Amino acid sequence: MTEYFGTTVADIFATMPKRFKPEEAKEVDIAIGYEATGEGGGKWKATIKHGTLKVETVEGELTGCKTTIHTDAETFVGVTLGKISALDALSSQKLRVAGDPKFLMLLLPKIFTPYAAPAKKPDAVTARDIIATLAERFRPEKAEGVAMTIGYDLAGEGGGKWTIVIRDGKCAVREGLADPLTVKMTMEAKTYAGMMVGTIEAVTAFTSGQVKIEGDMAAAAATAKYFRKYVVPGATEAEELISLRVTNSIEQRFATGPVMGRWFAGIREKKFLANRCPKCGRTQIPPREICAWCRVRVHEFVEVGPKGVVTHFDIVYFASPDPLTGAVRDTPYATVYVVLDGATEREAITVDLKKEDIPRLKEGARVRPVWAAVTTGSYRDLIGVELDEEEGSL
Amino acid sequence: MKMHAKNRNVAIIGIGQTSLSSHKEDQNQAEMVHEAVRNALADAGLKIGDIDCIVHGNMELFEMQFAPDLWHSLGTGAYGKDEYRITTGGTTGATLVCAADNLVASGLYNTVLAIGMEKLQEGNTTGGITNMADPLWFRNLQTGALTGTTAQEMIDEFGEERAKRAAMRYRIMMDKHAMLNQRAHRRFGLEYSQMEDLMANSPPLVGELRLIHMCSQSDGACAMIFTSEEKVKQGTKNPPVWIRDHIQVHREETIPNLFGFNKPEVTHHLAARKLFARNGIQDPVAYFDVFEMYDPSAWWAVDWLREFFLLKGDEHLRMLEAGDFDLDGRIPINPSGGVIASNPIGATAMLRLAEAALQIRGDAGGHQIKKEVRHALASGFGGTFWSVLMILEKELNWQEVNHD
């Protein structure tokens, strides 16, 4: 299987059941189809139903999926590992989602723990390369009073025989095996390299017989501390980067003032109250103390509406959070700009349109307000507007 | 008395940027700011001791960090110096440059360092913008800076096919520019052959505004150093870039006021009209050699080109279609890749100025315009269609225009 970023698409699906969090998926009932094209790709289907998960490979068409993800194998692995931003992949169309991408982006991190790539084999690094760096990695401060000779007999490509002499706070590396030795270690060169770069665990290698130790076992175990850890050239040590998570929740209250306050007092009575500029005649919505165009005080209140005309509208597909409730908005919804009857031409209000009316929404449509069952003098009193079709304007 | 007459001339003498990316977990905010400041000082050949005053800007609501200038003071070098903080939404970066220009021109300070920064990944930008300027209205529906109304207006005016192609042509052009800018955040490698596919299949956000049309959310910082003409005469490490004039239109009105039966004069048009008139610029397309425009989306960008250049009818579309705005075109737009490619908001508008100044110096690198750049225009955008527009010049030789 072709690897990208050190992992394969198949690895990701193979570990899915292990990464699944059933307790987070109790309410979930969805089948997700995956198509990864190119080398190392394939088709998979993940069926999540009330806390259970079934992952299967699919030959032929992906059927019965609520949502399907289409991408190339490299992008799929990159996005899964966080090497490629999901939003960027979506934007550039390298990743396509049939269905609701926002929903998937919220759901998947909730019900799966992130996939971590298996450690990469140090193909390029040989035992010989590592032995060559021993002297420079030596830590004399850790080897005070230590006198020992360590022999390495490493078979296979990149291997050889070496003796490391530690004495008087100095370290020397020589070709060949000296006699006598404090301890002699025999293994495959690639096993040694694996242990040094951290892809093979030393204890496991010894227990499984891959490493043969003759002589002082304690000395063998102690050698690591006399040297700084080997780092693959060009690779930087992955440093732990801590990010702190904070959620701010702030209770706020805003004074509406005596002028704008009339607007809220009005909608409590299911009336729209604007104030009219004595100079230019505009009906300010919401009412304000002065007309910013004419820079004069505005005193006269007039009732406008309750019906009006849609001047512009937005059909919103992006499910952003509602800052008033914290809940993710139900999409699509229609934001409509309405000029109420009797209001001057620029004094639009921005309101929600009843969902069922969206398919019939047009610029110029007549609308009427939809009020909350109980009105309290808040922006929540006006739920939105609905099409006013009785008048025959549509 | 002349309006907006400058007490003394002001030049940009140092420019520093960080790379711009989706997240910078290897730096905290102060460290990121410090990287930009260090780069600007090195570019100017100055030490922090040469700076008389610091102007700091970001949108604190985006990261929800109160008094960020305090946290950042070790990064900015503001410790023990005069400092101002500016927070004007999307225009922040441009307002910072206006403020620095005014501070030096006034004679109160000789050398001023301005810093714009944002780490959008540390907060919630759309949530921040949705917590509107007016706390009493419209929050239940607002979706940050996402809107499809301009797309609809352009479709109504020019027809669906032409309008959609224009927006996508602009988007791909920006990506081609970003591909040349090593610092840019989003570099997709888009080709014009993908136009139809992207038009049909990029996920819709609002109306015909699709994911591909919209700007990124980036982390990054920009720092710029300004000094007086007298100081410039004592010698600068790099050629100075002169700030000829700037205008800010922060017009009070609620957003819905823009969407009644008729539209007020767009602030960009108002800013351009007044700025060009008082500088005697009759034909901005002919006069300027580059325009770094604050382009939050491809639809807005195409529409605003008409406003900023005071064009009529479909002139802007014809220019776009003819390649006039390409990197080697008549009047290149955003050689840097623009806001669509990289958008660390508090730094975004300053990056327009920084990139325009680098073009004049000839130091833009991979995205340098081939022909000589002598006159540059740069804009900032934010709030309820606020607009900031600034003219940069290579030579200190423009004609003063009398405007009483």
Question: Which chain B residue lies closest to A364 (C-alpha atoms)?
Answer: B261
Coil vs helix vs strand at B114: strand
Q: Which residue has the higher pLDDT, A252 or A130?
A: A130
Q: Would you call A248 an interface residue with chain B, using a CB distance cutoff of 8 Å?
A: yes
pLDDT at res. B85:
95
A260 Cβ under 8 Å from any chain B Cβ: yes
- Rounded CA separation B229/B11 (Å): 7
Are B140 and A324 in contact (CB < 8 Å)?
Answer: yes
Lowest mean pLDDT among A208-212, A299-303, B352-356: A208-212
Query: Does residue B326 or residue A191 have the better pLDDT?
Result: B326
Q: Can you tell me the distance from the alpha carbon of B277 to that of B250, in angstroms, rounded to the nearest whole number?
A: 19
Expressed as residue numbers, the domain containing A379 is 257-391
**Which chain A residues touch B146 with a CB distance below 8 Å?**
316, 318, 320
Q: Which residue has the higher pLDDT, B126 or A381?
A: A381
Domain boundary among A62, A86, A111: A111
Query: Which of A186, A208, A226 is the C-terminal boundary of a domain?
Result: A226
- Angstroms from A305 CA to nearest CA on chain B: 15
Reply yes or no on whether the pLDDT at A27 is more than 60: yes
How far apart CA A152 and CA A184 sit, in angstroms, is: 6
pLDDT given at position B4: 64
Q: What is the CATH classification number for the domain harbouring A107?
A: 3.30.1050.10
Mean pLDDT computed over every residue of chain A: 87
A234 within a domain of the structure (yes/no):
no
| Same domain? A26 vs A52 | yes
Flag if B190 and A346 touch (Cβ within 8 Å).
no
> For residues A323 and B18, which has the higher predicted lDDT (pLDDT)?
B18
Query: Nearest-CA distance from A139 to chain B in Å?
Result: 29
Residue B159: the pLDDT is 97
Coil vs helix vs strand at B26: coil
Q: Which pLDDT value is given to residue A228?
A: 84
Q: Which single residue is written with the structure tokens 């390649």?
A: B323
- Any chain B CB within 8 A of the CB of A345? yes
CA–CA gap between residue B84 and residue B99 (Å, rounded):
9
Inter-CA distances, A241 with A6, A109, B28, B58, Å: 21, 20, 10, 24
Question: Which segments of chain B belong to CATH 3.40.47.10?
Answer: 10-126+217-233, 139-216+243-393
What values do phi and psi take at B147, rounded to 5? -155, 145
Q: Looking at chain B, which residue has its C-alpha nearest residue A287?
A: B254
For residues A172 and A139, state if they share a domain.
yes
Instruction: Tell me which of A111, A135, A152 is where a domain ends.
Output: A111
Strands, sheet with B111-119, edge to edge from the N-terminal-most edge strand: B82-86, B53-57, B111-119, B219-228, B10-17, B241-249, B386-393, B375-382, B290-292
Structure confidence at residue A124 as a pLDDT band (50, 70, 90): confident
Residue type, A123: D
Say if residue A117's pLDDT is above 80: no
How crowded is residue A83: how many other Cβ atoms within 10 Å of its Cβ? 14
pLDDT at B1 (0 to 100) = 40
pLDDT band at A198 (very low <50, low <70, confident <90, very high): confident
Answer yes or no: is pLDDT of A122 > 80.
Answer: no
The answer to whether B81 and B114 have CB atoms below 8 angstroms apart is: no
- In this prediction, residue B244 carries a pLDDT of 96
- What pLDDT band is residue A394 in, cutting at 50, 70 and 90? very low
pLDDT in tens, B182-205: 999 988 889 999 999 999 988 889
Instruction: Give percent above pLDDT 90 in chain A.
Output: 41
Asked if A105 and A143 sit in the same domain, the reply is no
Query: Among the CATH numbers 3.30.465.10, 3.40.718.10, 3.40.50.300, 3.40.47.10, which is that of B10-126+217-233?
Result: 3.40.47.10
- What average pLDDT does the segment A48-73 reach? 89
> Other C-beta atoms within 10 Å of B157: how many?
13
Tell whether the model's pLDDT for residue B3 goes beyond 70: no
Q: Give B96-118 pLDDT, tens digit per residue.
A: 999 999 999 999 999 999 999 99
Q: Which residues of A touch B190 (CB under 8 A)?
A: 92
How does pLDDT run across A240-266, given as a tens digit for each residue?
778 888 777 777 788 889 999 999 999
- A321 touching B, CB under 8 A? yes
* Contact criterion met (CB below 8 Å) for A348 and A338: yes
Mean pLDDT of chain B: 92
Are residues A173 and A92 part of one domain? no
Residue A156 falls within a domain, yes or no? yes
**Cβ B203–A101 below 8 Å, yes or no?**
yes
Write out chain A residues lying below 8 Å of B262, CB-based: 345-346
Q: Are A154 and A189 in contact (CB under 8 A)?
A: yes
Residues facing A79 on adjacent strands: none
Q: What is the token pair recorded at B192? A: 């014009």
Whole-Å CA distances, B165 to A52, A120, A265, B172: 46, 45, 48, 10
**What is the per-residue pLDDT for B403?**
55
Residue B128's pLDDT is what? 78
- Whether A98 and A146 map to the same domain: the answer is no
Select from A343, A227, A337, A59 the least CA-distant residue to B153: A337
Q: What's this model's pTM, rounded to 2 decimal places?
A: 0.78
Closest CA–CA distance from residue A303 to any residue of chain B (Å)? 18
Nearest CA in chain B to A345: B261
- Quick check: is A205 in a domain? yes
Q: Do residue A335 and residue B141 have CB atoms under 8 angstroms apart?
A: yes
> Is residue A319 domain-resident?
yes
Q: Is the pLDDT of residue B12 over 90?
A: yes
Mean pLDDT of B6-24: 92
pLDDT, average across residues A369-375: 96
Name the residue facing A317 among B22, B144, B205 (closest C-beta): B205
- Residue B351 identity: L
* Predicted local distance difference test score (pLDDT) of residue B304: 98
Give me the sign of the Cα torsion angle A202, A208, A214, A218.
positive
A393 has a pLDDT exceeding 60? no
**Residue A340 forms part of a structural domain:** yes
Grade residue B126 by pLDDT with cuts at 50, 70 and 90. Answer: confident
Name chain B contacts of A346, Cβ cutoff 8 Å. Answer: 257-258, 260-262, 264
Closest by Cβ to A345, choosing from B211, B255, B262 = B262
Rounded distance between C-alpha atoms, residue B216 and residue B145, angstroms: 12
Contact A349, A340 (CB under 8 A): yes
Same domain for A164 and A95 = no
> Does residue B33 register a pLDDT over 90?
yes
CA nearest neighbour of B310 among B277, B264, B345, B359: B277
Q: SS3 string of A7-30?
A: ECHHHHHHCHHHHECHHHHCCCEE
CB contact under 8 A, A90 and B211: yes
Tell me if A337 and B204 make a contact (CB, 8 A cut-off): no
Interval B201-242: pLDDT, tens? 888 899 999 989 999 889 999 999 999 999 999 999 999 999
Lowest mean pLDDT among A181-195, A274-288, B356-370: A181-195
**Residue B331 token pair:** 């009047």
Best CA proximity match to B307, nearest among B274, B267, B280: B267
Q: Of A300-314, B12-26, B362-376, which gets the smallest average pLDDT? A: B12-26
Q: What is the pLDDT of residue A105?
A: 78
Count how many residues are written for chain B.
404
CATH number for region B139-216+243-393: 3.40.47.10
The yes-or-no verdict on residue B282 having pLDDT over 80 is yes
Provide the sign of the torsion angle of the four alpha carbons B11, B14, B19, B22, taken in this order: negative
Q: What does the pLDDT average to over A7-25?
A: 88
Q: Please indicate, yes or no, if residue A106 is contained in any of the structural domains.
A: yes
Asked if A318's CB is within 8 angstroms of B143's CB, the reply is yes
Residue B252 has pLDDT above 70, yes or no: no
- Split into its structural domains, chain A has a count of 3
Shared domain for A371 and A277, answered yes or no, is yes
A45 assigned to some structural domain = yes
At B46, the pLDDT band (50, 70, 90 cuts) reads: very high
User: In this structure, are A263 and A351 located in the same domain?
Assistant: yes
Please give the pLDDT value at position A189.
92
Examine residue A197 and state whether it is found in any structural domain, yes or no: yes
CA B305 remoteness from chain centre: 14
